[in-house]
Structure 1
Amino acid sequence: MRNIYKLGISTCLAALSATVLHAAELGAKDEPIKLAINEWTGQQITTRIAGHMLETAGYKVEYVTAGYQNMWQAVSEGQLDAAMEVWGSNVTDQYRQLNKAGKVEDLGELGLVAREGFVYPPHVAELCPGLPAWEALKDCAAAFATAETLPNGRLVDYPGEWGTPGADRIKTLGLPFKALPAGSEGALVAEFRASVERKTPLIAVFWQPHWAIAAFDLKFVELPKGTQECYDDPAYGPNKDVTGDCDFIPTRVFKAAWPGLKDKWPAAYEIIKNFTLTTEQQQPLMGAVDVDGKPTEAVTAEWLSANTDTWKPIVDAATK
């Protein structure tokens, strides 16, 4: 598996050379920097890699399990110091308000090229002719019906803590479906596995980067083109979680922190601000955890050992 994690150094160095880095003071290095651990594997991998970089710089790091939707007050108060993978498509109004008030700081792009939408395994196209066009779902909803949803079809939505993008879209698109939230990321993956093995109908809300996209050859439904005008639907207000009757806007994935991080741990601020992780880097690591069953800590440790030339220059530039 080691070769899977080995990355092209030139790409990273090119990106690094385009970023202005400078050495900074460590600051309160005896006090732990508290990083939020959220509910999905990719975020945990991202956070563990960033945490190791901070430890290499000489910091203590504490990983704090936090609910993604309700952690922002804690970040604004310094009870949590940073969140390493924030998806702009489903941040809450609380985040937006705190960010606008200067109480939560946006630390820039993480580097993931992300997409969200309705997905299905390939065999489902035979059960619902007309896919990937979204209009096909109007005519074959009965094929997706269950005892819980009759007479409507069943759409598996994100876990409840992540918002209700599926429920919102089927309502605005007038689709005869009922959205049922998945229990977790793992439960969503289990749905795909069961559908592929049994050739049963399934439509779900999902995202990439994720190893399951390739593992199950998942296809995206072609929803009406997402536009900023649709995203700022007057029925919901600007930049809400729902996007009216259109597709998901391409998602910005970024880092956010307690504004006091910059002054309390200056070098840590530089490291986090300049830390990036690409889809190509993260996705195999997710597979190693979720498919191969390896612990997240072991997978990230192996990646870090194999890719010192990728991340160490960022640490060195912030501290030397």
Structure 2
Amino acid sequence: MNKMSSSVLMVGLLAAVTGVQADDHKSLVIGTNNWAENIAVANMWKIILEEEHGYDIELSDVSKSVLYSGLANEDIDLSMEIWLPTTDASFLEPHKDEIDVHDVWYEGTGLGLVVPSYVDIDTIPEIGENADAYEYQGRPTILGIDSGSAIAGSTDDAIDVYELPFNQINSSGPAMMAALDDAYQREEPIVVTLWSPHWAFAEYDLKYLEDPKGVYGESDDIHWMSRKDFGDDDPWLTSVLNDWHMDDDSLGGLMAEIEQTGDPVEGAQTWIDENRDLIDEWLAAGDEE
């Protein structure tokens, strides 16, 4: 075989190998929303899957309604967070036949109105009796996150059910936390909407206000979810994510690392480097497929 033929053959072989690699390359869209734990775990999985398993991951930050319709329409492949059986049930219901809900990765959430522990009240009715102490921009206010979130809707219900003379101001999670931090540093009363898991409970001394009428519902578990038949398309990743579990220590540590660095990528990478044994346990489930 002459040199020209050898060169042509080598180019052909390289092209074939490259073609196989391209076919094996998995591109996924992970739908996210602006909850602290959602940002944390989405960036964690993006790093693990891209750096260690050759995936190409796009994180798509969307509203709750767009997230569920995107999964149903297969514009989004998966999302790391759905709270069931209560909080996110209304978002899932219109699309329940087009979305696959997978295993639980965090058990025992919390959700409700939260105040600093130095505030001398313990129940939701009591904030109504002390409304003047919680003025923000001239009127009694509950500071919340985006208006399309489940917790925002529950808070509107709480204002009605408890007949609270309050207004809910909806903004982003970071903006709400900035207001909480400012009030906390000055030891002033403030009431915000919060949930567990959240890094705020490690950073500040906070308490949930008792909800005697059960407006915020019972404790939920957090599952991951995907477009229909994702499990058949990617059984390895489905097995890995079904074996993924986090508790307050592991998830709280991940969120705290991100909060301290101020960068979800840098913080998630640091946490990954320090928790290899745990991550390897999750990944081992896929190797058993």
TM-score, scaled relative to structure 1:
0.74
The answer for the alignment partner of 1:60 in structure 2 is 56
Specify the SS of the correspondent of 2:106. Answer: coil
Separation in structure 2 between the aligned mates of residue 301 and residue 92 of structure 1, nearest angstrom: 32
Structure 1 letter corresponding to 2:154: P
Structure 1 letter corresponding to 2:95: L
Match of 1:74 among 67, 70, 76: 70
Separation in structure 2 between the aligned mates of residue 217 and residue 116 of structure 1, nearest angstrom: 16
Contact 2:29 2:78 in 1 (8 A): yes
Contact 2:31 2:76 in 1 (8 A): yes
Separation in structure 2 between the aligned mates of residue 316 and residue 308 of structure 1, nearest angstrom: 12
Match of 2:133 among 137, 143, 146: 143
The answer for the alignment partner of 2:46 in structure 1 is 51
Contact 2:107 2:220 in 1 (8 A): no
Separation in structure 2 between the aligned mates of residue 147 and residue 44 of structure 1, nearest angstrom: 30
* Structure having the larger proportion of residues in strand: 2
Separation in structure 1 between the aligned mates of residue 54 and residue 285 of structure 2, nearest angstrom: 14
**Would you say 1:161 and 2:130 are equivalent positions?**
no
Deviations 1:36-89 (A, max 9, x none): 232123112111223344343443322222223321111122211110122335
Match of 2:251 among 282, 285, 290: 282
The answer for the alignment partner of 1:301 in structure 2 is 269
Q: How many residues align?
A: 262
Unaligned runs of 5+ in 1: 1-27, 126-130, 227-242
Deviations 1:141-184 (A, max 9, x none): 122234543xxx22223321314221210111122222222x11
Contact 2:240 2:284 in 1 (8 A): no
Structure 2 letter corresponding to 1:214: A
**Would you say 1:95 and 2:92 are equivalent positions?**
yes
Compared CA separation, residues 94 and 68, structure 1 to 2 (3 A): closer
Compared CA separation, residues 82 and 154, structure 1 to 2 (3 A): same
TM alignment of 1:211-250, pairs within 5 A: 211-224=199-212, 226=214, 243=215, 247-250=216-219
Structure 2 letter corresponding to 1:61: I
C-alpha displacement of 1:119: 0.9
C-alpha displacement of 1:139: 2.0
* Structure having the larger proportion of residues in helix: 2
Separation in structure 1 between the aligned mates of residue 91 and residue 111 of structure 2, nearest angstrom: 22
Higher RCO, Cα 8 Å, sep 6+: 1
Specify the SS of the correspondent of 1:164. Answer: helix
Percent of aligned positions with the same letter in both sequences?
18
Specify the SS of the correspondent of 2:124. Answer: coil
Contact 1:157 1:167 in 2 (8 A): no
Greater C-alpha radius of gyration: 2
Separation in structure 2 between the aligned mates of residue 294 and residue 179 of structure 1, nearest angstrom: 27
TM alignment of 1:92-131, pairs within 5 A: 93-99=90-96, 101=97, 103-125=98-120, 131=121
The answer for the alignment partner of 2:286 in structure 1 is 318
TM-score, scaled relative to structure 2:
0.82
Deviations 1:171-228 (A, max 9, x none): 11122222222x11111111211111223221111112212123220111112063xx
Separation in structure 1 between the aligned mates of residue 188 and residue 284 of structure 2, nearest angstrom: 52
**Would you say 1:185 and 2:162 are equivalent positions?**
no
Match of 1:195 among 183, 202, 225: 183
Specify the SS of the correspondent of 1:161. Answer: coil
Match of 1:172 among 153, 161, 167: 161
The answer for the alignment partner of 1:256 in structure 2 is 225
